[in-house]
Amino acid sequence: MDHAGQDATSVFVPIHPSDTLEKNLPPEKHLGTLDKASIQELRASVKDKGKTRDELRVEEAIKVKPSLSRMINIQDIEETAKNLLPYKAMTYYASAADDSISHTENSRAFSRFFFHPRVMKAVSGVDPSTLMLGYKSSIPVYISGSALARLGHPLGEVNLTRGAYLTGILQMVSSNTSLSYRQIAVARGSPDQPLFFQLYKHKNDLSAARRIKEVESLGYKAIFLTVDALIPSNRELDTRAPHYLEDYENQGKNIRPTAVNEAVEINTLGTAGGLVASNDTDMTWEKTIPWIRSVTKLPIVIKGIQCVQDAVLAAEAGCEGIVLSNHGGRQLEYSLPPMEVLYKLRNERPDVFTKTEVYIDGGVRRGTDVLKALCLGARMVGLGRAFLFAQSAYGEAGVVHLVRILEREIKFGMASLGVRTVDQLVPDLVERVDWQPLNPKL
């Protein structure tokens, strides 16, 4: 509504796939082609409007952006990206629920696990490759489904897909991409490149079925049903973004906000709120999994398992995989870190690992984090924000560079642990401790 009667291209394109209007707007609502005179008038008005302070800040940040060769770990890439992203994009990518406690603890949880390295083992030719749902990955890391990549870079998800192909890793594509599912499929390096689909199930079964059939026809290889983000959460950094930008743009101007004394309802939806407005909030094990089976023969993975009991139910329901995840700490505050859930699952129900593939995402910062998860039984580890930041700052090359960083760290860690292949990473190689080392970055 802020752009009613105006050219809304700049705010529409980064968060809507190119086929949005065709899929969601009835033909009778299509008013026709804009005439050339109107197009010129709109372009002129944009030019006359000038650039915002935030746009000028981004331009200056890009001029002094460090070379990619100076990015030696995930933290370097994230800090660089945050400095040069538009503020709205940065707050969407970085935001977490409430006081960011779950988000912070996701990373801290890994620091409670220490290794028992074995020495005098033959470790030449370390091979970190593995399989996920039968598809090979060069390292035990995949790109987790993350929405709106074009907020950070014009090519958005294409950077992720091409980077995944060049490095031989796997990609899960979000329901809420800023490119169409077809555009992403076309961007694959070869027709054989596997893509998985993260499904936010629509409350209307017909709409949900159309989405599943569409991605299946495009060659996507699995459905990752997201179950931990059904309703909008309280992501305050994202919510405050418009207020910050308003104050930032008005710096130096004699403008005071209008005082409003009566109680008003605060809009906490932010960028993310509209993405989940149509989600099915009545999914059940008894109803939803059989329904998806009736629609597709693709493997089903449940993304967002946060306790041992639900991991067991997913295995009993015959799901081909589960992702232990609290949505990157972006949904329910004080949900357990996935690494702690993995540890509990290994101790309480080790049989689950023989019945279904177990993955984990959230809080991974280093190759050693990946190895700790694999020692406890995880087959693969997903990263979302890290890849968004990498492609935002450096495009496709940033995605490749991030994978190479993780590959180097994982290979070093495997050799140091005395293992050559990922199947040699076993629980005896890690120990959970009741204290944590001092880490100023957490």
Active-site residues, by number, are 327
Residue 92 labeled ligand binder: yes
Cβ–Cβ < 8 Å for 127, 425: no
User: Residue 59, SS3?
Assistant: helix
User: Binding site annotation covers 330?
Assistant: yes
Q: Could you give the residue ranges of the DSSP H alpha helices within 111-222?
A: 157-167, 181-186, 205-217
d(C-alpha 282, C-alpha 136), whole Å: 35
Q: Where are the beta strands (DSSP E) in 273-367?
A: 300-305, 321-324, 357-361
Annotation-wise, does 303 bind a ligand?
yes
**N-term to C-term CA, the chain:** 40
Q: How far apart are the C-alpha atoms of 217 and 433, rounded to whole Å? A: 48
Residue 365, marked binder: yes
In order of 25, 93, 134, 325, the CA distances from 339 in angstroms are: 43, 22, 24, 9
Q: Is residue 158 annotated as involved in ligand binding?
A: no
Asked whether residue 235 is marked as a ligand-binding residue, the answer is yes
C-alpha 190, offset from chain centre: 23
CA–CA separation, 144 vs 330, rounded Å?
A: 14
Judge whether 92 and 148 are in contact, CB under 8 Å: yes
Whole-angstrom distance, CA of residue 4 vs CA of residue 11: 12
Residue 383 is given by DSSP the state E
Nearest 5°: the CA angle 130, 131, 134 is 165
The reply, when asked if residue 364 is annotated as ligand binding, is yes
Return the H-helix or E-strand segment holding 226. strand 223-226
State the Cα–Cα distance between residues 341 and 324, nearest whole angstrom.
7
327 appears as a binding residue in the annotation: yes
Q: Is 362 within any annotated ligand binding site?
A: yes
Rounded distance between C-alpha atoms, residue 442 and residue 266, angstroms: 31
Residue 200 annotated in ligand binding: yes
- Which residue bears the tokens 């293992």? 419
Could you tell me which of 394, 407, 409, 387 has the C-alpha nearest to residue 143? Answer: 387
CB of 163 within 8 A of CB of 396? yes
Given the structure tokens 């489904």, which residue do they identify? 145
368 is in an annotated binding site: no
Binding residues, as ranges, are 92, 174, 198, 200, 226, 235, 303, 325, 327, 330, 361-365, 384-385
Binding residues for FMN, as ranges, are 174, 198, 226, 303, 325, 361-365, 384-385
Binding residues for glyoxylate, as ranges, are 92, 200, 235, 327, 330
